[in-house]
Structure 1
Amino acid sequence: MDVIVLGGGLMGTASAYFLARRGARVTLLERNRIGTGATVASFGNIRRTGRHPSQLPLAHRSLKLWGEAERMLGRDVEFRATGHIRLIFDEGGLADMRAYAEAARPWGLELEELGPREIRARFPGLGPEAIAASFSPQDGSGNPRLIAPAFAEAARKLGAEIVEGAEVGKITSTGSGFLVASSKGTFAAGCLLNTAGAWGARIAAQFGEVIPLDAYGPQMGVTEPLPHRILPVVGIWTRDKDYGAYLRQVERGNIVFGGAAERVAVNLDPGHATADPMRLPLQLRAVARLLPAIAQVAIIRTWSGCEGYVRDMLPVMGRSATTPGLFHAFGFSGHGFQLGPGVGDAMAELIMTDCCETLLDDFRVDRFARAA
């Protein structure tokens, strides 16, 4: 089977790899360079906590693959299962955490509740005013700059064609497959997989499938290197978006942080997002609530990226509802990094076998049309 994959972020490159591993002849078309869209802007969080319950089976599938990534891809993508802690500072956050833990348990996620003494003993320096926290020990982080190129290179070794700098133009459904005209030539295949991220809704619209998707850019930052002391990824349970920050420390010592600052709308033409320095003070106040010591540290870089947010914050995944042979996997709404390997594996399974062991019904492309 021939498959064209549109988009060279984590979803696209993982799909290309798993398709090629299943014996498909794959061509991946990327408008810029591999991994330079939403993937490279990602925080690198590999977490299951806080996900919509219907995403948890996919998240479990993906976590297993993250654990196998170095052996599978022949490269260290810096996946570290150091755990994920979410701090709680008020009774509202505590109630939300406990309600979520109860709802997620049947879906296979067990969260450990920590009290103030346990937080201080196990994670000194974090959230000194926290009244509680949730902890998921199997979660962690990975390197957004490494993972998509690693999947692309592994796919190439399996015979996939990876074409960068290919601006896609007209896409034609021929009845027996698809013709994709691009700046690097015209490509033909029996199946088409749309992993175009924030541009995915534009592809879907060409086939009569309208998705309410908006493009936004997160604000991310990183500090100077410090002694490596913070092992888990750190987040927060809060109803106040001004405090919704998160951070992690990489092995080189730098602290990567994000959240709190409002995302900025991005024009998809050309699709470049920039960080707003005026939002940094508010963001740092929220980060300092999680880690007070960061107030004494120099910020060396800020950045943003272009992410696609669907109205209901759930991705679009699965078969097209209008066009045989067309498949979608886009709109991960700022929380797709952890899901990436699982998405690629699931889409390859669906395309190659016409079924998928992971339930994808809540992500159907026609869910908005059915609700209208």
Structure 2
Amino acid sequence: MSRHLSIDVAIIGGGLVGSSAALALRGMGFSVALLDKGYCGAQASGVNYGGVRRQGRPIEQLPLSQRAHAVWPKLQALIGIDGEFLRSGHLKLARNEADMATLEAYAGETAEQGLDLELIGHNGLRERFGWIGDGVVGGSFCAGDGHANPRLVSTGFAAAARRAGVHVLENTPVRGVARRGEGFALEAGEGLSLASRFVLNCAGAWAGPFAESFGEPVPLTRIYPSMVVTEPTEKVMSVNIGMEGGGIYARQVERGNLVVGGERALPLANADFSRPRGEGALAIMNNAAALFPGLRHVQAIRFWSGTEGAMPDRNPVIGPSLTTPGLIHAFGFTGAGFQIAPGVGEVLAELVRDGQTQTPIAAFSIGRFAATSARTDAGSGAGQNQEPNQAGEIRS
């Protein structure tokens, strides 16, 4: 049986970016449909590490990150749950003097951004964070950062959007979208057609074909985060931990479980899905035990992975289409979308309502890939995406 739905805004992708945009748009009075090919928050938004950090982001992301930073303490009022958000602070460690110099340079470059970074030497680390083992020379501490439970937060925004009156359509893949008159026509699921004034492309790792269908190809690739969670244990760490240059990252929740990451999983035959590598999970735990002696006898109880869209320059695509009025993109967060997603949702809503936003997003324009796409199409490597480098860490 076919059915038709007319709304102001159709959002492709029910992850945290799409669902937060849906909630913000509904608060502005727009009618909204949120469509996901599976379940809202089941991919990158729900399976990431759960870091709520500003520290370490490219400088051009910091205004957007600061905007999102103001949202996280308000989750209870906004979506009805706190998402286990804890402002624990984020400590980024340096293994050697070169890494420490990088942290020092970053602190200087971001001094006017409001992160209030505190550089800590080796002796200071030993005094304040005695549970950290040898092998580090210092660190950078951002007291206002923290962590949260991605499974609760990602589904929490979608549930709040549904309560606000958004048409949340799960297991409803978008099979086609085209410009029609002053708006768009979409075909989705089994026999569902939609008419909308605006379309938001928030499809994550699946966003590339939608952008390309409107003449805006991008070098979007897929990466697969791999995480480990341990049994509950006594308090080992008090802050969210990262490493300069990549590698291990870890946090401990109030129940005592530790969430640890630092490796990538392998895609299955169907590249929409992946599974953790046994040797990767073992490497995560061995690296964590070496850095945090208190974890040496803690048992790992669960492993997981997911699918994340990645861009070669580590920055997402956020902003209006340059070919199609009414189409707005937001994808390619390269493992770092969890913290900024609520801010992105607000920005997308403003772009729909006002056609602009006060938050700087020019660096994220899809137009930055136009020259690259033209060169690629002219050469023999057309259609071949560049693999993101190791700087595109799988964290959030």
- Asked if these proteins are the same fold (TM beyond 0.5), I'd say yes
User: CA separation in 1, counterparts of 2:126 and 2:77?
Assistant: 36
2:387 corresponds to which residue?
none
Structure 1 residue ranges, 4+ long, deviating more than 6 angstroms after superposition: none
Is contact 2:265-2:274 (8 Å) kept?
Answer: no
Residue type of the alignment partner of 2:25: L
2:195 corresponds to which residue?
188
1:225 corresponds to which residue?
232
User: CA separation in 2, counterparts of 1:266 and 1:212?
Assistant: 21
1:325 corresponds to which residue?
326
Task: Give the CA deviation at 1:295.
Answer: 2.2
What secondary structure is seen at the aligned counterpart in 1 of 2:56? Answer: coil
Task: Give the CA deviation at 1:187.
Answer: 1.2
Indicate the larger mover: 206-215 or 221-230. Answer: 221-230
Indicate the larger mover: 55-64 or 149-158. Answer: 149-158
2:393 corresponds to which residue?
none
2:128 corresponds to which residue?
122
Task: Give the CA deviation at 1:316.
Answer: 0.4
User: CA separation in 2, counterparts of 1:212 and 1:154?
Assistant: 33
2:391 corresponds to which residue?
none
2:365 corresponds to which residue?
364
User: CA separation in 1, counterparts of 2:133 and 2:241?
Assistant: 10
Q: Deviations over 1:245-277 (max 9, x none)?
A: 100001111100001x2454577x450111011
1:214 corresponds to which residue?
221
What secondary structure is seen at the aligned counterpart in 2 of 1:231? Answer: coil
User: CA separation in 1, counterparts of 2:180 and 2:271?
Assistant: 29
Aligned match for 1:248, one of 238, 247, 251: 251
1:314 corresponds to which residue?
315
2:149 corresponds to which residue?
143
| TM-score between the two structures when normalised by the length of structure 2 | 0.89
Is contact 1:120-1:128 (8 Å) kept?
Answer: no
User: CA separation in 1, counterparts of 2:20 and 2:12?
Assistant: 12
Q: Deviations over 1:150-186 (max 9, x none)?
A: 1112212221110101011011110311111011411
2:22 corresponds to which residue?
16
What secondary structure is seen at the aligned counterpart in 2 of 1:366? Answer: helix
User: CA separation in 1, counterparts of 2:354 and 2:371?
Assistant: 26
The structure-2 alpha-carbon separation of the partners of 1:169 and 1:111, relative to structure 1 and needing over 3 Å to count, comes to: same
Residue type of the alignment partner of 1:254: N
2:54 corresponds to which residue?
48
Is contact 1:234-1:290 (8 Å) kept?
Answer: no
What secondary structure is seen at the aligned counterpart in 2 of 1:33? Answer: coil
Q: What is the correspondence of 1:1-372 to structure 2 with a 5 Å cutoff?
A: 2-184=8-190, 185-238=192-245, 244-259=247-262, 261-262=263-264, 264=266, 269=270, 271-370=272-371
Residue type of the alignment partner of 2:260: F
Task: Give the CA deviation at 1:118.
Answer: 2.3
Q: CA RMSD in A?
A: 1.5
User: CA separation in 1, counterparts of 2:28 and 2:101?
Assistant: 45
User: CA separation in 1, counterparts of 2:181 and 2:320?
Assistant: 16
User: CA separation in 2, counterparts of 1:289 and 1:356?
Assistant: 46
| TM-score between the two structures when normalised by the length of structure 1 | 0.95
What secondary structure is seen at the aligned counterpart in 1 of 2:86? Answer: coil
Is contact 2:11-2:199 (8 Å) kept?
Answer: yes
Q: Deviations over 1:55-87 (max 9, x none)?
A: 000000001001111122121211110100011
Is contact 1:43-1:256 (8 Å) kept?
Answer: yes
Task: Give the CA deviation at 1:348.
Answer: 0.6
Is contact 1:31-1:166 (8 Å) kept?
Answer: yes
Q: Deviations over 1:130-162 (max 9, x none)?
A: 221110000000110011221112212221110
Indicate the larger mover: 296-305 or 128-137. Answer: 128-137
Is contact 1:82-1:233 (8 Å) kept?
Answer: yes
User: CA separation in 1, counterparts of 2:311 and 2:138?
Assistant: 32
Is contact 1:217-1:266 (8 Å) kept?
Answer: no
Task: Give the CA deviation at 1:106.
Answer: 2.8
User: CA separation in 1, counterparts of 2:305 and 2:265?
Assistant: 9
Residue type of the alignment partner of 2:198: C
The structure-2 alpha-carbon separation of the partners of 1:99 and 1:266, relative to structure 1 and needing over 3 Å to count, comes to: farther
User: CA separation in 1, counterparts of 2:133 and 2:354?
Assistant: 48
Q: State how many pairs are aligned.
A: 366
Is contact 1:111-1:136 (8 Å) kept?
Answer: yes
What secondary structure is seen at the aligned counterpart in 2 of 1:36? Answer: coil
User: CA separation in 2, counterparts of 1:74 and 1:173?
Assistant: 36
The structure-2 alpha-carbon separation of the partners of 1:9 and 1:117, relative to structure 1 and needing over 3 Å to count, comes to: same
Residue type of the alignment partner of 2:285: L
Q: Deviations over 1:83-107 (max 9, x none)?
A: 0001122111111101111111133
Indicate the larger mover: 125-134 or 330-339. Answer: 125-134
Gaps in structure 2 of 5+ consecutive residues: 1-6, 376-396
